[in-house]
Structure 1
Amino acid sequence: MPDHTAGPARVADPAPAVVVEADDPLVLDGTTAFMRSGGRVRVLPRERTAEADVAVVITGDTTPRTLAVLHRVSKETGGRARIVLVADCITEAQVRQAVTYGMTGFLVRPRSSFSHIVNAAVDSARGEPAPLTTGPPGPGESPDPVPLALREAEVLRLLAEGKDVIEIAGELCYSERLIKSVIHTVVKRFGVRNRTHAVAYAIRMGIL
């Protein structure tokens, strides 16, 4: 006999609509095929960008052309779509510009698999990644972006490998100042005393 006292069954979240942009046809075809095979997202053709919940943009270097693609996606979706950018590196100025177009996630391309990209797209559709925002500038300074959680994890991983700030900045294509800011943010968030304790805490908690 059915239990009429039970609440309504939870309706599963619909798969987000994703459009993929890439400057390499092989990367575009491979990413699209992987996304379609998993069933976690609905992949739309480029001509249906206006319907997309998330746009995944994959490139090598972040260039003015890359930012133009982000701008176009923003215009076509009325600023509604969230954007995940996958690139080899990005400057602080480019991050600030990309955020105005709706970028909510950034993945370092050489360290990202198809699964990482799908996870980032799904998380972005749910609003889970920490949005990249700008903080108040200091005297004579431009606002610095608040680091993405993914970038924090990258910095922690490299610290765990024994790399110093200069080496990390070079490997991730960021400024030393930004790397120091990421470390300071993580140390404060974890409530520990220094970067060594932050790495130990991350390992103990299974973050690394």
Structure 2
Amino acid sequence: MTAPIRVLVCDDQALIRTGFATIIDAQPDLEVVGECGDGRAAVDLARRLSPDIVVMDVRMPVLDGIEATRLLAGAGVEHPVKVLVVTTFNLDEYVYEALRAGAGGFLLKDAPPAQLLHGIRTVATGAALLAPEVTRQLVGRYASRIRPTEGTADDSALTPRELEVLRLIADGQSNSEIAATLVISHETVKTYVSRILTKLGLRDRVQAVVYAYRRGLVT
């Protein structure tokens, strides 16, 4: 059997923290290895427990979730830890900063349990996750402030099909949804996504979405 995904839950509200932990621990493929209520504790515990992923709140005492994410998953971190940020809708500025800090994705705190579990599994595998219902409003609002990574190629390097896939990624579609939209296989979509990231010098789907808005490929 495959070892369960090891999860560290960090939220300063005990009720939410306990609720998340209860939902996660009920899954056979997930295991909560620790809980904490501030970003400094999250960094210390993550370094000691080596979780596969940290479910991270944003506004917390001692050290906020953005700085904690930067210390765990930011550029230059020797052994980065995957981070899934949870936030409320009116904190989109914090989510933007969290993505820049290295978070693999974000969800809203009022997301249903199934969406939280899906988000944990998705980010833990190395894929990025953007909550579809806020992708346009959040990323579109802040895209003009984001610069492509150093050495990023122009999107003219992409084929017409790759551009089409990039636009669908920016629209918040998953690989399965893109496959259904374009009537191609899931594996073919994965190949297109990999090529897009390589050609544009992007780290993951989060950066791909931001790039698409930055370049005016979506409106």
**TM-score, with normalisation over the residues of structure 1?**
0.53
Distance 1:173 1:69 in 2: 21
Letter in 2 for 1:27: I
Distance 2:96 2:140 in 1: 11
Equivalent pairs, count: 146
2:164 to 165, 189, 206: 189
| Equivalent residue, structure 1, for 2:30 | 41
Letter in 2 for 1:41: L
Distance 1:96 1:34 in 2: 25
Distance 2:178 2:73 in 1: 38
Q: 1:58 to 1:93 in 2, by over 3 A?
A: closer
Contact 2:96 2:142 in 1 (8 A): no
Deviations 1:22-66 (A, max 9, x none): 1211100111011111222110124753321100013469xx722
Contact 1:20 1:32 in 2 (8 A): yes
Contact 2:58 2:64 in 1 (8 A): no
Distance 1:80 1:204 in 2: 31
> Alignment partner of 1:23: what SS?
coil
Letter in 1 for 2:92: I
2:10 to 11, 15, 21: 21
Alignment of 1:193-204 (within 5 A): none
Tell me, yes or no, if structure 1 residue 69 matches structure 2 residue 68: yes
Letter in 2 for 1:150: L
Distance 1:204 1:126 in 2: 19
| Equivalent residue, structure 1, for 2:180 | 205
Distance 2:142 2:5 in 1: 37
Q: What is the RMSD of the two structures over their aligned residues, measured on CA atoms?
A: 4.3
Displacement of 1:78 in angstroms is 5.5
Larger radius of gyration: 1
Alignment of 1:3-152 (within 5 A): 12-46=1-35, 48-49=45-46, 50-51=48-49, 52-59=51-58, 65-71=64-70, 73=72, 79-88=79-88, 89-91=91-93, 94-99=97-102, 103-110=103-110, 112-127=111-126, 129-130=127-128, 150-151=130-131
> Alignment partner of 1:80: what SS?
coil
Letter in 1 for 2:83: I
**TM-score, with normalisation over the residues of structure 2?**
0.50
Deviations 1:53-88 (A, max 9, x none): 100013469xx722233245459x963320000112
Percent identity for Structure 1 against Structure 2:
15
Q: Which runs of 5+ in 1 are unaligned?
A: 1-11, 131-148, 157-167, 179-186
Q: Which runs of 5+ in 2 are unaligned?
A: 36-43, 145-161, 182-219
Distance 2:32 2:99 in 1: 27
Deviations 1:112-135 (A, max 9, x none): 1222122211222222x23xxxxx
Deviations 1:131-186 (A, max 9, x none): xxxxxxxxxxxxxxxxxx524x3268xxxxxxxxxxx63xx4861756xxxxxxxx
> Alignment partner of 1:205: what SS?
helix
